Amino acid sequence: MRNTLIGNGVIIQHGGADYYNANIIRRAINNVRSGCFPSHLYPKECADFVTALAKEHNAALNGDYDRYVFTTYDKASLKDFKSRYDRKHKHSPEEIGFEDYFLLFELIHNKLGVKNPERFEHSVVLRRMFLDSVFNQGKIETINERFSDGFVKWLENNDYIFTTNYDSNLDVVTRLPVHHLHGSFNTLSEIYDPNSFRNQLKDDLLDGEEVDLNYPHLYSTCLVSYVGDLKSFSMTQSSLANIGMKKFVKGYQDSPDIRNQIDEWDESNVLVKRLKEAIRLKSERPELQHSEQYPHKELNDISGALEIIGLSPNNDGHLFTQILENENITEIVFNYFSHQEEADAKRLFGSKNISTRDVREFWLDVDNK
């Protein structure tokens, strides 16, 4: 089998500087400053918020926030964060990775003791501002017009196409199933899908919020996080919830004792009340289940060669772990941008049969076919 994993480098190759991190940050701020943004979906204060987060960047590098990290993955993320920046340099807002802003967000909210629902609401609007900038008024969805015929043919020769990108350019040109591991602008998140299992419950979990169909990408499944563990959790959450719900329902239907226990659960706790309602609802409508919107399981199904293009070996470790654990992947072809990436890829995939090549050679090869 031939398989490929595509990252943002492919978008930059064909879409240019608009999709560099610095320009994504700059565009997000400028959109707000110029009034070119949906103010009913994220407020103008988001731009000031990004500036404020950037001011804490050096403090985080210098250890001022070390005491405000509590989980193992946050500690690992902060250590990695410190390793990627020069602490002697004062970084401007556009020099900070847009996903790193979400780590700074967590650190500052931990320090200030901000809890939910305010914390969740703040993260939602920050996410929307950055996603809107990546979407770039829909221009990102037209990049496929610049793909060469050779690249399209190369894509079509793969059995599986995976991508960490949110756009649908690969889907459009190949008309093949493309597995969007981190979500897609074109897929409505289960949170906002009126037909989803969670939205069949009596409580209005969206608190009256309605989806503005002029901006569907801001309600999409796109994962934005500063750490792979959180992306991995989001990718597997629905499948785990379905497994758990299936066990609850089986017990509820098969065991009178379990049924009585669940029926007697105290509904003063909102979460317990929702779980009880969900169990009863699925007992009556067994077809209901949480939509598994992130096709991570397919990474376990592939075999043969996997070629990686447009990804750094130092990001998305949760995906590389899956790849390494799949014994049926016998060969890795890694296209690197720098010699440091090449060395890092060889070290990362050392347990596999790995070959590397300069990504510029890849583009010369496929574009001239």
Residue 232, phi then psi, degrees to nearest 5: -60, -40
Q: Are 140 and 10 in contact (CB under 8 A)?
A: no
Q: pLDDT tens digits for 85-128?
A: 998 999 999 999 999 999 999 999 999 999 988 988 899 999 99
The reply to whether 224 falls in a domain is: yes
- Residue 65: CB atoms within 10 A of its CB come to 20
The region of weakest confidence among 12-16, 31-35, 284-288, 353-357 is 284-288
Residue 221 lies in a domain: yes
> Is residue 43 predicted with pLDDT exceeding 60?
yes
Q: How confident is the model at residue 141 (pLDDT cuts 50, 70, 90)?
A: very high
In a domain, 158, yes or no: no
Give the pLDDT confidence score for residue 200 in this predicted structure.
83
Q: Is the pLDDT of residue 146 over 90?
A: yes
Number of domains in the chain: 2
155 within domain boundaries: no
Task: Give a yes or no: residue 292 inside a domain.
Answer: no
Domain that holds residue 47: 17-136
Residue pLDDT, tens place only, 282-339: 899 999 887 777 778 889 999 999 999 999 998 888 889 999 999 999 999 999 999 9
Lowest mean pLDDT among 63-67, 193-197, 280-284, 348-352: 193-197
Nearest-5° angle of CA 135, CA 175, CA 3? Answer: 90
For residues 278 and 197, the answer to whether their CB atoms sit within 8 Å is: yes
Residue whose pair of structure tokens reads 């990436």 in the numeric block: 341
Q: Which of 259, 284, 309 is the last residue of a domain?
A: 284
31 shares a domain with 121: yes
The Cα 96–Cα 112 span in angstroms is 22
Domain end marker among 256, 284, 312: 284
Q: Is the model's pLDDT at 13 over the cut of 70?
A: yes
> pTM of the entire structure?
0.89
Task: Kindly state whether residue 204 falls inside one of the protein's structural domains.
Answer: yes
Last residue of a domain, one of 86, 120, 136: 136
Residues 126 and 40 placed together within one structural domain of the fold: yes
Q: Are residues 128 and 54 in the same domain?
A: yes
What is the structure's pLDDT at 160?
Answer: 95
Rounded CA gap, 340 and 163, in Å?
23
Mean pLDDT of the residues in the chain:
91
Does residue 129 sit in the same domain as residue 25?
yes
Which strands sit side by side in the sheet containing 178-180, from one edge to the other? Answer: 178-180, 160-163, 2-6, 304-309, 329-336, 353-358
Verify that 24 and 101 share a domain, yes or no: yes
In a domain, 5, yes or no: no
- On whether both 21 and 122 belong to a single domain, the answer is yes
Residue 306 CA: distances (Å) to CA of 160, 183, 228: 9, 20, 20
Within a domain: residue 350?
no
